[in-house]
Homo-oligomer: A and B are copies of this chain.
Amino acid sequence: MTPQSSRHMPAEMHVEGVLAPDIRDCVAACLDCYQTCLTTAMHHCLEAGGEHTEPTHFRLMMACAEICRSAAHFMLLGSDDHARLCAECARICTACADDCERLGGMTACVDACRRCAEHCRTMAQ
């Protein structure tokens, strides 16, 4: 992606041109899912209690927030390994969406997870 011989930069950098459009969209979907999972866990789940703070569900929410945060970081770093992180992110987002659907009342989180999973699956190919 960045050959060594490219160490000459134009006078002005356009961030928009640095990342390919599909990568930028995937980063946006990951950061949106990260925000939604973390907010939902720390507000909706903690306030609702019961099934919502059961270890298995709550840990999955937190793991989903973390993998989304980290997959976005890999894409921003320009790491060659981002595809594998995205594959893992898609898997965890899907599991999280399924679990939120099972509990009900968490449409926003389900939607963000499904959207992120779709972007990440494309990126992983």
Contacts and interface: CB of A to CB of B under 8 A. Distances in A.
Interface of A: 1-2, 4, 6-16, 18-19, 27, 31, 35-36, 38-40, 42-44, 46-49, 53-56, 58-60, 62-63, 66-67, 69-70, 72-74, 76-81, 84-85, 88, 91-92, 95, 104-109
Contacts of A69: 69
Is chain A's binding surface mostly helix, strand, loop or mixed? helix
Give how many copies assemble into the complex: 4
8 contacts: A13-B44, A13-B108, A42-B78, A43-B55, A43-B78, A47-B55, A62-B79, A63-B81
A77 B39 CA distance: 6
| Residue with the greatest number of chain B CB neighbours at <10 A, chosen from A10, A35, A69, A109 | A35
